[in-house]
């Protein structure tokens, strides 16, 4: 073929949906119904930082600098086919590290979340998968299941839908 026949085709214009952030009323209503468990804390962090769900689920304790009061977001947890390793850390979409100075309220939430997570570890005992030592905890995921396993995005979304109804 001398010419590519697809060159003559005009592609339809892709229209992006307008992003509509939550109003102050909607945020107040959401805060009134979500709890202080792991899902509630995660949703509060997402709402008040603007992190994408994969970025929030992939947040590790070493990315939270309580002294300088900032979050360093340099990876996300992405679902891959099991043949490709299942859930894996991947770089952010634009390969840039985000440094966020969240409201003190968000950092206080995260600081307070350390204790319940440590209690979950004790309750899980030998079944805990998240971290085995204090050194490992420093690079462990912030938000996990009761057994220290990463959260699944669909499960988080389902919890959000419960609160949003």
pLDDT of the residue at 164? 72
- Angle 38-49/104-124 helices, nearest 10 degrees? 160
Residues 73, 100 contacting (CB under 8 angstroms)? yes
- Is the pLDDT at 3 greater than 90? The verdict is no
pLDDT of the residue at 94? 82
- Is the pLDDT at 77 greater than 80? The verdict is yes
Q: What pLDDT, in 10s, does the model give residues 110-161?
A: 999 999 998 999 999 889 888 888 788 878 999 999 998 888 888 888 888 8
Confidence of residue 14 (pLDDT cuts 50, 70, 90): confident
Q: Which CATH class is domain 42-164?
A: mainly alpha
Confidence of residue 165 (pLDDT cuts 50, 70, 90): low
Token reading at 147: 């057994």
Residues 144, 41 contacting (CB under 8 angstroms)? no
pLDDT of the residue at 138? 78
- Is the pLDDT at 16 greater than 70? The verdict is yes
Q: What pLDDT, in 10s, does the model give residues 19-65?
A: 888 889 988 888 888 877 778 899 999 999 989 999 999 999 999 99
pLDDT of the residue at 86? 81
Across-strand partners of 70? 65
Name the percent of the chain lying above pLDDT 70.
Answer: 99
Q: How is the chain split among helix, strand and coil, in percent rounded to 5?
A: 45, 10, 40
- Is the pLDDT at 108 greater than 90? The verdict is yes
């Amino acid at each position: 073929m001398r010419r590519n026949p697809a060159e003559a085709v005009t592609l339809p214009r892709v229209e992006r949906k307008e992003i509509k952030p939550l109003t102050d009323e909607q945020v107040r209503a959401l805060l009134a119904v979500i709890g202080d468990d792991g899902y509630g804390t995660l949703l509060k962090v997402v709402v008040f930082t603007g992190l994408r769900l994969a970025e929030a689920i992939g947040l590790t304790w070493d990315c939270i600098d309580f002294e300088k009061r900032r979050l360093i977001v340099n990876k996300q947890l992405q679902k891959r086919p099991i043949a490709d390793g299942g859930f894996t850390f991947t770089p952010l979409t634009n390969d840039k590290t985000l440094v966020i100075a969240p409201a003190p309220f968000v950092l206080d939430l995260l600081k307070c979340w350390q204790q319940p997570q440590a209690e979950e570890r004790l309750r899980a005992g030998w079944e805990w998968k998240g971290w085995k030592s204090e050194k490992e905890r420093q690079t462990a995921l912030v938000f996990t299941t009761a057994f220290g396993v990463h959260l699944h995005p669909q499960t988080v979304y389902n919890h959000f839908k419960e609160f949003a109804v």
